[in-house]
Structure 1
C-alpha cells in the first residue's frame, strides 16, 4: 500500500477543503482499485504568522505556500492542497501542478450584519478587506465607501464584522461555500463590479515532478475546463508579474463552439485608490496566448504606470 502525505495550511478553511480533496481521492482510488493511505500534515506559513499587516505590505504571492512547497521538496509531504489564488506564477524547480479540480463559485461576496447588498450600504460605510484588488474595485464603484484593512481567517473576520464596527466585509464566496457557511452571504458581487482574483474559487494540487504515482493519480482528478480557464488567468498574471501588492483581477470562462472550447478572458488592473481602472476582454482557444494578449492590451493602455504606482 502506498502512503501519500498531504500538506496543507492549518486554517479551518484549508483543513476543510483539503479533507474534501482527500475524500474524493479516496473515492477515486477505490474505483481504480488502488491501495492508498492518505495522511494529513498541517504546516504553518508566513502568511498565517503575520496577521497585523496588510497582505500588500507583507510581500508578494507565495505567502501561504512557500513553507508547504519546501516540505514537498524535502519529501515530508507528497502532495499539497492550495487555494489557486495564493499561487505564484512560477513554481520552484522540481514541483508541478498535478491537478486543478472543478472550480467553486469564483465571485467575491459581501457579508453585512443586516443582509444589505452593496448598493444598500449607507454613505461612508466602513468595509473590511485585506485585498487591494477588492478595495480598488469597490472604491471605483462607490467612492464614498471607507475601506479598512481586515486580516485573519474566515471565522475571525466574521467576528470582526460584529466587534469592530464594520458595516460590511468582503470574502471569496468559494471559501464560505466550502466551509458550509453559504447562509452568511448577504450578496454576491457581479464580476462586472468586482473581478475575481486570478484562480479564485479553484484549488491547486501540487506535487513533485519526479513522483509518477502521485502524478498519474492526480491526472484523474483534474478538471479540464477549470484547468484551461485558470491557465489563461495565470498567463495574464505572469505577464504583469502581479502579486498581492498590486490590484489585478482576471476571470476566464469556457464555452463549447463548433471549433472546440473557446475561452473568454477579462483582465483588470487598477490604481490602489480606485481612481483608475482598466479592463480588457478577449476570446481565444490557446490559454497562454490569450492571457498574454489581454495583458499586452492593458499595458498599451497604461497598466504599467498603474502597477508602478501600486508598488511604490
Structure 2
C-alpha cells in the first residue's frame, strides 16, 4: 500500500509506547500524531466528568474528521458502545492482565499494616480491596505511571495499584512489589489489551492492521466487554472480568462488587467451541443475569 497512515495517540509515555509498537508492526509507511484528550487534563475523579471515554473521544473525533487513520487505545478505556462509523479493526496480543501492587512499605498486599492508606483512582480496585481489607483507607490518586510512582515515593500513600501490562511495556517490571493473582483480584475488562480503531469505510487501514489482530485476545476481550456492556459499566460501578482461551475453549469469569466490598455477584462459564459471536452472547447474558440478581443491592450509577 502506497498511502501513509497517520496513527493517533495520547501523549503519555505508555500511550506513545503503544503507538510506536503498532507503527513497528505495520507493513506500510506511517506517522504518529499526538493528540491531547479531555482525560489528560482532569485532576479530579474521572467519574465526575464522564468516565473513561474521556481518553478516547478526541481520538475518535480526529478519526471521523480524517485527521488520523488509526487510533491506538488501551482497550480498558474504550466505551463498549462504539461511535457510528468507527470500529476496532484489530487487537494486539494481550500483555499480563494482572494488577500490580506497589509499595515501599510492604512486600505483599497482606503485609500492609492496619489502617494503611492506598492511593487509587480505580473504584474496582478499591471495592475489591475493601472486601479483603476493610481496615484500609483510600485516597484518590490519578496521573500517568510516572506521576503515580513519584507520589508513592513521596509517601502520599502507603501503596497503590497499577496494571502489570503498562509497567512491563515501559520496562518497569522490576518495580512491581507483587503481581496480584487474578483469583485474588480479578482485573478490569480488557486490561492489558491494545486496540486499533479505524473508520469502517477505510479499506486500506483495515487491510494494513488485519495481520496484527491476535485472535485469542480478540475473543477474550469480546466476552469481557460484552459483560461490561450488559452492566452499563463505567467508572461508577466496580466491575471485573477476565476470559482466556485454554485447551481450545474460552474460560470466563466476571464479577460486580458493592463499592464498600460488602457484596459480590460473580459468574463463571466455559465455551467449548468459541467464536466472537458466542463470546459476545455469553458475556452479555452473564452480565444481564447479574444485573437482574443484584437488583437494587448494587448502586449502578450514583
Q: TM-score, normalized by length of structure 2?
A: 0.95
Is 114-123 or 140-149 further displaced after alignment? 114-123
Equivalent-residue separation in structure 1 for 2:131 and 2:65 (angstroms): 45
Runs of 5+ in structure 2 lacking a partner?
Answer: none
- Aligned residue number for residue 94 of structure 1: 85
- Aligned residue number for residue 189 of structure 2: 198
Secondary structure class of the residue paired with 2:209? helix
- Aligned residue number for residue 213 of structure 2: 222
- Aligned residue number for residue 47 of structure 1: 39
- Aligned residue number for residue 279 of structure 1: 266
- Contact between 1:79 and 1:206, CA under 8 Å: does it hold in 2? yes
Deviations 1:213-270 (A, max 9, x none): 11011111100000000000011111111111111111001113xxxx3211111111
Q: Shift of the alpha carbon at 1:310?
A: 4.3
- Aligned residue number for residue 20 of structure 1: 21
Equivalent-residue separation in structure 2 for 1:46 and 1:209 (angstroms): 24
Q: TM-score, normalized by length of structure 1?
A: 0.92
Q: Shift of the alpha carbon at 1:165?
A: 3.3
- Contact between 1:270 and 1:306, CA under 8 Å: does it hold in 2? no
* Count of matched residue positions in the alignment of Structure 1 and Structure 2: 296
Q: Shift of the alpha carbon at 1:18?
A: 1.1
Query: Does 1:37 pair with 2:29?
Result: yes
Deviations 1:34-69 (A, max 9, x none): xx3211111111110102x11222223311000000
- Contact between 1:100 and 1:223, CA under 8 Å: does it hold in 2? yes
Q: After the TM superposition, which residues 229-248 of structure 1 pair with which residues of structure 2 at under 5 Å, given as runs?
A: 229-248=220-239
Secondary structure class of the residue paired with 2:52? coil
Runs of 5+ in structure 1 lacking a partner?
Answer: 30-35
4+ runs deviating over 3 angstroms: none
Q: After the TM superposition, which residues 1-312 of structure 1 pair with which residues of structure 2 at under 5 Å, given as runs?
A: 1-25=2-26, 29=27, 36-51=28-43, 53-114=44-105, 116-256=107-247, 261-284=248-271, 285=274, 286-302=278-294, 304-307=295-298, 309-312=299-302
Equivalent-residue separation in structure 2 for 1:165 and 1:46 (angstroms): 25
- Contact between 1:138 and 1:193, CA under 8 Å: does it hold in 2? no
Secondary structure class of the residue paired with 1:41? strand
